Amino acid sequence: MSFVHLHLHTNFSFGDGACRIDEVVSRAAELGMPALAVTDHEGLYGAVRFYQACKAAGIKPIVGVELTVEPAVGRDGRPRPWGQVPGAAQPARPAGSPEAPPAAAPVTWPPPTGAWPPAAWKGAEGAMRSEGGPEGRRSQTEAAERPPEGPLVPAAPDPYGGGIAHLKGAATVPPAAARGAGGHHLVLLARDYAGWSDLCRIISAAHLEHPGEPPLARLATLAEYSGHLVALSACRRGEVWSRLLAGDPKGARAAASVFRDIFGRDFFIELQHELLPDSGAQLRALDLLAHELRLPTVATNDVHYTVKDDAPLHDVLAAEAANQPLPNPLGRKNAELYLKSPAQMWRLFGRRPEAFHAAAAIAERCDLDLGLGRLLFPAYPLPVGETAFSLLWKRCFAGAEQRYRPLTAEVTARLERELRVVEELGFAEYFLAVHDIVEFARSRGVYYSGRGSAGNSIVSYVLRVTDADPIEHGLLFERFLNPARREMPDVDIDFCSARRDEVIQYIYERFGHDKVAMVATVNTVRAPSAVRIVSRAFGFTPDETNQLSRKVPWGSAAKLGEMMDERPELAGHEFQQPHYRRLVHLGERLAGYPMHLGTHLGGFILSRDPLTDRVPLQWAAKGVVVAQFDKDDVETLGLVKMDILALKMHSAIAEAVRRIEARTGEHVEAWELPRDDPAVYELIRSARTVGLFQLESSGQRNLATRLQQRDFEDVIAAISLFRPGPLQADMIAPFIRRRHGLEPVVVPHPDMEPALRRTYGVIVYQEQVIEVAAKIAGFSLAEADLLRRTMTHERSMEEMDEIGRTFVEKAVARGVARSAAEEVFRQLRGFAAYGFNKAHAACFAIVCNASAWLKAHYPAEFYCGLLNNQPMGFYSPRVVLNDARRWGLEVLPVDVNRSGEWFEVESDGTALRVGLAYVKEMSGAARRAIVGGRGDGQDAAGGEGPSAPLVPAAPGDPSGPPRPYRSLADFVARTGVSREIAENLVRVGAFDALGVRREELLPQVPLLYAGTRPTGRRRGAGAAAGTAKRSPASSRETAASAVHPGLDQPRLVLDEQLGALDFLPSWTLEQRVRAELEFLGLNVSAHPLRFVRDQVCTLGVTPFAQLSQVKHGRHVRLAGVLERAQMPWIRSGHRTMFLTLEDETELAQVVVFNDVYLTYGRVLKSAIYLYVEGELQNDEEHGLAVVAHRIADLLAVLGRAGGRGAPAGAATQAPGRTSERSGALAGAPYHRPDAWELPEVHPQTRPGRTG
Amino acid sequence: MCNAKRTGGLHRPEPVAVVWDERRRRPSAFIWRGRRYRVARTLELWIVETGWWNDETRVSRSYSRVEAEGRLFDLCYDRLTKTWSLERALN
């Protein structure tokens, strides 16, 4: 008795399904089912994983979808002609003649001609479809295969082939209409690959044509792509059943007959026995309907959870999706929607054997082969007479001649060898496509650099995809492309983030808008979100929910219980109460559940055929078309994915280079700079590496003091060593000890020596694993790479031992002593999984070298680049600016007559002028108005912001003679900026140079704005949005008063007339710094610790700049601003935390070990200023750091706890502070404070003066 | 809840003893108010199982609508208390 579940929701139904794919598949196999179907809502999100899981479990995967379809029956109860849109006016056609043949209906998807995406996708307006669609199914299919004619670029110059306009269009539609005027569910199953393609096309059309929630499939689309599908009438929300429930059996019959017309014998009435009170009656009604229309029936269980015990998970997810607390908003009364066994299903459907048996029969007819393992490369247009390979060959050798002078036999031999593999694997077109993209970037001067294992290839190097010479650095092609494994090559390229959109636009145009889409990411439930979801379901208040979830670390939800037991910061947590046990338990079971679909940062799919033949597409935020698959799924399907990433460092370097050329005329080729410049290595060794690519983190700065980099290889090593793998395998300590001769360099076998010489016998790189295995056991490099891959994955002891035996036998056969071979294997085994890809590090090292060179030789331009491309890097702009000051650059305050939109270099490269962009509330339009209004062409000097195009400013004439602002009133009148901006400029001293004190100007600002009405024009010039209300009258008025927008004439001379404010006391330096911190996020006039310098000195602290002169092992005291806290890894269960502190003189690194963290960790949550006592490490082995023994809030130590209730103005948001919670920071319980306050000193509490 | 009309004269569920046919997984007879009713057939089965998030709201019952002695009865098995009751006696 065989039964197959054909209606099943995994947790990829996002809120309406709780089956874990692996669990439900193995349960089906356990129950002896020959096949299993997945039918998630509105997409194939989980389909690829499901397909793989089924294949692995040995059962047949059936892929389908439960889609929302427009109503088949109109309000008049008669079948609607297909292709008609609910709510759309259709005057010409006689409304709803049931006999209307489907072929006569206009069908506009896919678009026969014209722009991509088709007009029909443009949101709700697209609902008004053109009538000129081709007739009949056949011609449409042909049309679909024709490449789109006409302009490839959509009307709006939007790189994403659509743009946000669609979403805006959709937003204008009333929600009811967007909700499809009552679409109904329909289950569609793919019978074969053609059916898969049909599903992709139908789902894509439903999403792209109907961007509302939920998407809506048109009947016409179904009709067009119904040939390889099986349709089931779905659940109570299917049209047939819902009409029965609504007491409309006639309508139900009409709907069923529409689907019968579309799907013919492949349409089934679905029978679900949910064991609800009315189930018997419902089944009888459905049965009767099927009988009347002679439609076949099929039994399903609308599976939503694998086992009954998982029903609560489904309830919780449904509550979250409905944004309502339990009880279940869907009114679920029982827990019967689980994967029932064939016997259980028979018990429910024994009286309806035909429906029971139909399930297995349908499954029998479905046979989907996704053809995994094939690779689908994008087409590359070739000149006549060339093959992809011949063209690639020519381009590679042309590139090699430029890269290698003179071209050596070694180079040509390697190039030929690699090209042969590329040819064998059939990757030539792919490389041409990559080359095409980077050539475009190069031709436009867009900075980029390839990264990752592509750097192992000389082909990438000569095509200028990557910049590290693989021969010079001993990089192995086999690590990138293994001839023994035909695997999709993975090329990742970082582009200048300010100009990446140009590249993306080009990719869409070059490869076709219908053949490019972005890769999705699946955001999954982590510990804090699990707590939030369950708390909300339980009906806790938002406050309570936040309270509960806030302190939960960003770990796996599966460890929720464990965290409660172990993490010290959760020791007093509410969760410890038994009341929350149920919550914790449920939260744990939600671990890893997909929450929603996101867009990959830079992953693009490039396809040969229209993507919708293979992949379902939908809108993502920002109007981007995104696949329903993540990068793994895309790779599994064999589609080409390319990472077009955005890197701010490239923007910073590009800006620095541009500025250097503008000031000095020197042209810098950033990637071609010498790699042996002593100034670069001196800088790195000094550990003053703030701003350097990859070497600026506190960990790297500490490593620099230990490693003492001398050459480029050392930089590659440093980049590789401070990584999770090498850190976990503890490679740094032996590396450092051996480098400084503290322990001998030994290798088990002399043959290893060449490969490991540069790393002192320590296996750091994956390339070394390959080389050593090849040398010792006589593997080919390809075989050795396979061995490395094998050892990288988690293996059981037995498997590892087996691999080891083979390795040792092979080595012994070559004459290697058994003991040596065993030791070599032991080392490989220990490091294979932790080694770092040297090619990746080498690619990074080149960017690092450029950043270091720029900092060493053109610090002003370099810091400008950094500060104008925030947020980026490890430190806040405040610390970067302080670092610039420590580097000897003068920092000049904001000045309305001198500041550019961004930071500018002044005084021939010795000073930095704070840019207007840093002023709080400043908008791009206001910046441009201010700079443009001066007419001195300041903005053209290269101060091009991160992404701001140089648009002529609104008022003023940039080409005219300079017209500096003469007064505040003059400034306000000419720029028309908002009052907030004017006030903030005054507060940070931007008018100081005009000769009137800011203390006197500040009270004038309200007067200047007293006579103004917020107008549309001022809004355009940067007034704060929201205060401006457009009206016809005001826009007329502003046109008339373009010179003095909205200001009364007499007030123009206000500040000249009001001279009597000189009694106002001048701000203290402290007040000025406070204003700077608050309104710039920077300290320009002085460091915040300046104001407690004397008091801090009495504590006996060592200024950070002097730490390097203090002897190793000495007890020291530190006082500093907490800049960053990192908890990069947990070794042997013990947390080690790294704090970066800043004082007036330098940055310092503090190491906090587990026990100290447990005792003092709480201080880190609240304090900005820290006082640390500890032991100084200062030698070659340990580098420069302080191991904390005691940590305290500096303000408390100074005897002033009064800082908390600081004046309202003292709380500051520093710009560019994003809550980075990725990478090394993950797991850190600490957030950097966003609120600034100065360490306040009240005279009566000064320690020196108290008696 | 205790709509006497709806529940066929029952003012509240009354405990019954049920003879369970394990092979067919159906009640085969029950004793109500001292009288034995032989179940002729089972017409409907349904299950109510909800309120799991709170011990006070938690419900787990399975119902059988049976025909016995020419009348319709709704028998209820409470899985939490493991007891049978008669919820309704119709017509």
Q: Which amino acid, one-letter code, is at A858?
A: Y
How high is the pLDDT of residue A451? 92
How high is the pLDDT of residue A1197? 87
Residue A1154 neighbours by CB under 8 Å, 6+ apart? A1134, A1135, A1136
Both ends of chain B: CA-CA distance in Å?
Answer: 18
Q: List, as own/partner pairs, every contact residues A991-997 make where C-beta atoms lie below 8 angstroms and the sequence separation is at least 24, other chains included.
A: A991/A896, A992/A893, A992/A895, A993/A895, A993/A897, A993/A898, A994/A896, A994/A897, A994/A965, A994/A966, A994/A967, A994/A968, A996/A967, A996/A968, A996/A1055, A997/A1062, A997/A1064, A997/A1066
Considering only CB atoms, which chain A residues are within 8 Å of B49?
311, 333-336
Pick the last residue of a domain from A1079, A1102, A1122.
A1079
Q: How far apart are CA B63 and CA B65, in angstroms?
A: 7
CATH of the domain at A442: 3.30.1900.20
User: Do A559 and A518 belong to one domain?
Assistant: no
Angle at which helices A698-707 and A712-721 pack, to 10 degrees?
130
Q: Has residue A308 been placed in a domain?
A: yes
CB spacing of A582 vs B46 below 8 angstroms? no
How high is the pLDDT of residue A1040? 33
- Residue B35's domain spans which residues? 14-90
How high is the pLDDT of residue A1225? 24
User: Do A1194 and A1234 belong to one domain?
Assistant: yes
Q: How far apart are CA A824 and CA A769, in angstroms?
A: 10
Query: What 3-state DSSP class applies to A329?
Result: coil
User: Do A1232 and A1149 belong to one domain?
Assistant: yes
User: Do A331 and A419 belong to one domain?
Assistant: no
CB A42 within 8 A of CB A203: yes
Q: How far apart are CA A725 and CA A834, in angstroms?
A: 4
Give the chain A residue nearest B65 (alpha carbons).
A277
Q: Residue B71 is encoded by which pair of tokens?
A: 């009348």
DSSP-derived letter for residue A153 is S
Q: Has residue A715 been placed in a domain?
A: no
Question: C-alpha angle with apex A415: A412 to A418, nearest 5 degrees?
Answer: 150
Q: Is the peptide bond before A101 cis (omega within 30 degrees of 0)?
A: no
A464 pairs with which residues across the strands?
none
How high is the pLDDT of residue A1029? 36
User: Do A443 and A554 belong to one domain?
Assistant: no
Q: Has residue A266 been placed in a domain?
A: yes
Assembly ipTM = 0.90
User: Do A215 and A339 belong to one domain?
Assistant: yes
Distance to chain B for A359, nearest Cα, Å: 22
Angle at which helices A311-322 and A581-589 pack, to 10 degrees?
90
> In this structure, what are the phi and psi dihedrals at residue A777, rounded to the nearest 5 degrees?
-100, 0
Q: Has residue A730 been placed in a domain?
A: no
Give the chain B residue nearest A325 (alpha carbons).
B53
Give the chain B residue nearest A580 (alpha carbons).
B53
- The domain tally of chain B equals 1
Question: C-alpha angle with apex A545: A541 to A546, nearest 5 degrees?
Answer: 120
Determine how many CB atoms are found less than 10 A away from the CB of residue A149: 10
Q: How far apart are CA A1021 and CA A486, in angstroms?
A: 57
Q: How far apart are CA A769 and CA A199, in angstroms?
A: 45
Pick the last residue of a domain from A548, A572, A592.
A592
Pick the last residue of a domain from A566, A592, A618.
A592
Q: Has residue B71 been placed in a domain?
A: yes
Q: Has residue B70 been placed in a domain?
A: yes
CATH of the domain at A191: 3.20.20.140
Q: How far apart are CA A331 and CA A315, in angstroms?
A: 10
Question: C-alpha angle with apex A350: A347 to A356, nearest 5 degrees?
Answer: 100
* Residue corresponding to tokens 């200047």: A1008
User: Do A69 and A217 belong to one domain?
Assistant: yes
Tell whether B47 lies on the interface with A, counting CB pairs under 8 A: yes
CB spacing of B44 vs A277 below 8 angstroms? yes
Mutate to test the interface with B, among A316, A333, A349 (most CBs of B within 10 A): A333
DSSP-derived letter for residue A303 is B
How high is the pLDDT of residue A136? 34
User: Do A1028 and A1115 belong to one domain?
Assistant: no
Q: Is the peptide bond before A871 cis (omega within 30 degrees of 0)?
A: yes
Considering only CB atoms, which chain A residues are within 8 Å of B50?
327-328, 332-335
User: Do A236 and A316 belong to one domain?
Assistant: yes
User: Do A924 and A990 belong to one domain?
Assistant: yes
Considering only CB atoms, which chain B residues are within 8 Å of A336?
47, 49
Q: Has residue B69 been placed in a domain?
A: yes
User: Do A243 and A230 belong to one domain?
Assistant: yes
User: Three-state SS string across A921-987, please?
Assistant: CCCHHHHHHHHHHHCCCHHHHCCCCCCCCCCCCCCCCCCCCCCCCCCHHHHHHHHCCCHHHHHHHHH
Q: Has residue A660 been placed in a domain?
A: no
- Maximum distance among all Cα pairs of chain B, rounded to whole angstroms: 40
Q: Which among B50, B53, B63 has CB closest to A538?
A: B53
Q: How far apart are CA A691 and CA A912, in angstroms?
A: 16
Q: Which amino acid, one-letter code, is at A849?
A: N
Q: Has residue B63 been placed in a domain?
A: yes
Give the pLDDT means over successive 10-residue stretches in chain A (1251 positions): 94 93 96 96 95 96 96 84 47 34 34 40 34 33 34 32 31 32 88 96 93 86 94 94 93 94 95 92 94 95 94 92 81 89 94 95 95 87 93 96 93 96 92 95 96 94 96 94 86 94 93 92 90 88 82 79 68 63 87 90 90 92 87 91 93 96 94 94 94 92 91 95 82 91 90 91 92 92 89 80 90 91 89 89 96 96 96 92 95 94 93 95 93 71 39 45 88 90 94 89 85 46 36 36 40 52 85 92 91 88 93 94 77 74 93 87 83 93 92 84 34 32 26 46 36 29
CATH of the domain at A1160: 2.40.50.140
Q: Has residue B35 been placed in a domain?
A: yes
Q: Has residue B3 been placed in a domain?
A: no
User: Do A1062 and A1096 belong to one domain?
Assistant: no
A1118 pairs with which residues across the strands?
A1172
Interface of A with B (CB under 8 A): 275-277, 279-280, 311-312, 315, 326-328, 332-336, 347, 537-538, 582
CB spacing of B48 vs A333 below 8 angstroms? yes
How high is the pLDDT of residue A1134? 67
Q: Which residues of chain B have pLDDT under 70?
A: 1-11, 91
Q: Has residue B9 been placed in a domain?
A: no
CB A1148 within 8 A of CB A1141: yes
CB spacing of B52 vs A332 below 8 angstroms? no
- The domain tally of chain A equals 5
Q: Has residue B5 been placed in a domain?
A: no
Q: How far apart are CA A37 and CA B63, in angstroms?
A: 31
- Residue A427's domain spans which residues? 388-522+599-648
